[in-house]
Structure 1
Amino acid sequence: MLQFTKMEGIGNDYVYMDGIHQRVPMDATFISKISDRHFGIGSDGLIVILESEVADFKMRMFNLDGSEGKMCGNGIRCFAKFVYDEHLTKKTTLQIETLSGIKTCELKIENGEVTSVTVDMGKPVTTCREIPVVYDQEEMIDDELVINGIKYRGTAVSMGNPHLVIYRDNLDFNLEKIGPHFEKDPMFPESVNTEFVQVIDEKHLKMRVWERGSGETHACGTGACAVMYASYLNHLCGPEADVELLGGHLQIAYRDGHIFMTGPARTTFRGYIQEEDYR
């Protein structure tokens, strides 16, 4: 029997499992079944809490199709809340190991529980070969690209995972129809998260996101960071902006070469599952 906690950060929801005190399966079959919203727990994927040799904890995150992701901004805020609320640590400043490096989290505590977390998301990357993007220039900043025969202008940014930011006059369109074409285009050898952005004003950005391996989600923390930085590069916002996603708002700031993300984290419920039921 496995204990789990369901958590969400502005609608980006994951199943969290303590991999320190129990053995957690991390294969695609198990992950896709527990993530199924009709026959499983229902989530955007699985996040596992593990011991780390180089930080306070190690985070492994998996998309609902079982593929492993390098980093999840909303996920790491909930991760930080989990380890504090479940008394795995008393620290309010945490170092968390991810596949995209060690991230620092500052916890805001109210009545003994974490209500919000500020994460140092690190330095944004715009070098195409590091994102990676197959492109004939060193960077793609408001440059033309063709996806499924249609011309777009986009800005490519890595926040530990690849993002492509596209600006639109409005966000009322069929994302399910065009999102997969971006995700699977050969231009992106590791596939890509695609953000479609409407600039409300220089302090308010509105977005929808198609996440690789998960489809459209209510929120993507690294995506919000990529949107803010791309907008900063394109002179559409200043060094701080409120980014509005389907699930809520994140405050993103660019300081000293790093991106900082602040937002809520919430536990929705806890439970137990029989592992064999998901095999």
Structure 2
Amino acid sequence: MEFLLYKVHGSMNTFFMLEGEEREDYEEMTLKLAALDPGIDGLLVVLPSQVADAKMRVINRDGSEASMCGNGLRCVARYVCERDGVEEAVIETMKASLHVKKEQPQGDGIAMYAVEISPVSFQMADLPMAYGGETEWKLKPLPFVSEEIPFTAVAVPNPHLIGIVPDEYQSNPAHQQKWAEFFNGPNEYFTDGVNVSYATKVEGGIFVKTFERGVGFTNACGTAMTASALVSCLAGLVPYGEVAVYNPGGMVKCSVEKNGSSFRLRLTGNATYLAKQQFKWEGTSSESGLELAEELQEQALYEKFIEQTSAVTNRFVS
């Protein structure tokens, strides 16, 4: 069986994307694709939906499934909007149906999309997280990890542990890697693992580095960037409203609106097509493989865009 794949990225969080029907072997397919192309973070599957314009499934490169992916959702938003000839749509995800919208192109024509990030919960049970019999964990150190880092646990709906850290933790990722690997292995605190992000105040916004569950360190994680913007607003690092979030893959804008005890979150950034190619899928046999890619010439525009962020990101990214 052959599938048409698009290789896409949001903030250099890179995926293969295909449109298809529900199948039981997308996890195995993703493992094969990750072996064929170590540069991808997973597979985006665009499916029919009974309640929205389309449904998105996100399979991480290790074969696990994520409930949401903000960077991937922007790419799916572009695909669905261009397929249907519309500028707004609703995409069904595992936990919610989310509004997406085409935005004005950036720079010399970079496709930009805004996507809703929802639902938001600070209940530890929704991650799930267990520690000290608490129900929420907001802006407090986890003493066994560090006495100086305030952590916040939040589900959006992917589970996130966000630490507010000084520059040195960004320049040397050893501390973050140690605890992220611990929390994503057998442990008593996060039985399903967790995305671990370190956020730092920078001029004009925040810088975020994420160790993504099922992936490892990634150029960007959309829900992590949005959750980090929310936590940074709670901590008073930046004001509520639009937050510029820099990351190893570039920069996005996260909108954080507070209404009483509830929050409305939106993520805006690029949806870039890198290539398209045919994928012959014959299960786990050696017959499965990728044909030569047809490059789509959009990456050069994105690289011009991220040159503008280098003054911030080069402080932390070698």
Same fold (TM over 0.5): yes
Change (3 A) 1:18 1:24: farther
Structure-2 residue corresponding to 1:2: 3
- Equivalent pairs counted in the alignment come to 269
Aligned to 2:117, which of 96, 108, 121?
121
1:63 equivalent to 2:60? Answer yes
Give the gaps of 5 or more residues in structure 2: 290-318
TM-score w.r.t. length of structure 2: 0.79
TM-fit CA distance, 1:137: 2.0
- SS in structure 2 opposite 1:138? coil
**What amino acid does structure 2 have at the position aligned with 1:232?**
C
Q: Quote the Cα distance in structure 2 between the aligned partners of 1:177 and 1:143.
A: 19
TM-score w.r.t. length of structure 1: 0.89
Please tell me the root mean square deviation across aligned C-alpha atoms, in Å: 2.1
Q: Quote the Cα distance in structure 2 between the aligned partners of 1:108 and 1:228.
A: 20
Structure-1 residue corresponding to 2:245: 243
Structure-1 residue corresponding to 2:28: 29
- Does the aligned pair in 2 maintain the 1:34–1:42 contact within 8 Å? no
The structure whose residues are more often strand, as a share, is: 1
Q: Quote the Cα distance in structure 1 between the aligned partners of 2:164 and 2:38.
A: 34
Structure-2 residue corresponding to 1:169: 166
TM-fit CA distance, 1:189: 2.0
Alpha-carbon deviations, 1:190-226, whole Å to 9, x = none?
210000111115x410011000000011000000011
1:54 equivalent to 2:51? Answer yes
Alpha-carbon deviations, 1:165-208, whole Å to 9, x = none?
1122120113544431132342112210000111115x410011
Structure-1 residue corresponding to 2:93: 98
Q: Quote the Cα distance in structure 1 between the aligned partners of 2:91 and 2:143.
A: 37
The structure whose residues are more often helix, as a share, is: 2
- Does the aligned pair in 1 maintain the 2:80–2:89 contact within 8 Å? no
Aligned to 2:74, which of 48, 72, 77?
77
Structure-1 residue corresponding to 2:193: 191
- SS in structure 2 opposite 1:144? coil
Change (3 A) 1:218 1:91: same
Structure-1 residue corresponding to 2:288: 278
Q: Quote the Cα distance in structure 2 between the aligned partners of 1:121 and 1:176.
A: 26
Please, which moves more after superposition, 26-35 or 264-273? 26-35
Give the gaps of 5 or more residues in structure 1: none
Aligned to 1:131, which of 123, 127, 130?
127
TM-fit CA distance, 1:32: 1.2
